[in-house]
Chain A
Amino acid sequence: AQKVTQAQTEISVVEKEDVTLDCVYETRDTTYYLFWYKQPPSGELVFLIRRNSFDEQNEISGRYSWNFQKSTSSFNFTITASQVVDSAVYFCALSDNGGYNKLIFGAGTRLAVHP
């Protein structure tokens, strides 16, 4: 069965702290894709990154980095030197052979960055 677990419901940090958002997934497929989306207070869903199951290289984009580990079925997201504008709900999502390319979302982690 497909499942995405984001165990951290809410995280609160002070500006400039580093923060890691955890994501653990379950799938029977060997080929799958993982995504992170950001949902700011305005409500829209903003695509952040896509990673396929064959590419375990970590990725860095500015202050954002992602650590994909197949051995632990995890795809964690780190924000370095957090800023108030990073305050949002972050969703991890999975797409596999289970059904076309529907996205299976985790419950989300609400990140609050305080000045």
Chain B
Amino acid sequence: EPEVTQTPSHQVTQMGQEVILRCVPISNHLYFYWYRQILGQKVEFLVSFYNNEISEKSEIFDDQFSVERPDGSNFTLKIRSTKLEDSAMYFCASSEQGGRSDEQYFGPGTRLTVT
């Protein structure tokens, strides 16, 4: 069964450094998402992406964040200058279409630790 993959599984970085989290969505899916989950808290929407542009972003997704689909398979989340509060699990998801009913398939997550 096709699945969303994410690399790395765990990333440790120092405050102020740039990080890039990578995702490979399911190949025939057109809509891509990033969510984050601070330890012990709920999963929060960051951004949705379709047709090479951002469809929607949350208040969390400020100028320090950016997303890109650099080729036909990868979908990346970049944090320019990490802060301690960026420490969280970051989930990538994809869906075949963009409708409200469409199931989003989640990747296994990347745990980001900012020290």
Contact = CB atoms under 8 A, between A and B. Distances in A.
Given A100-B98, A102-B56, A91 B104 contact: no
B44 A105 contact: yes
Contacts of B42: 91, 105-108
Contacts of B31: 100-101
Nearest to B33: A102
Chain A interface size band reads 20 to 34
B103 interface: yes
B65 interface: no
Interface residues of B, number: 29
A90 B3 CA distance: 21
Contact of A33 (B33, B48, B100, B105): B100
B43 A101 contact: no
Nearest to B44: A105
Nearest to A45: B106
B56 A43 contact: no
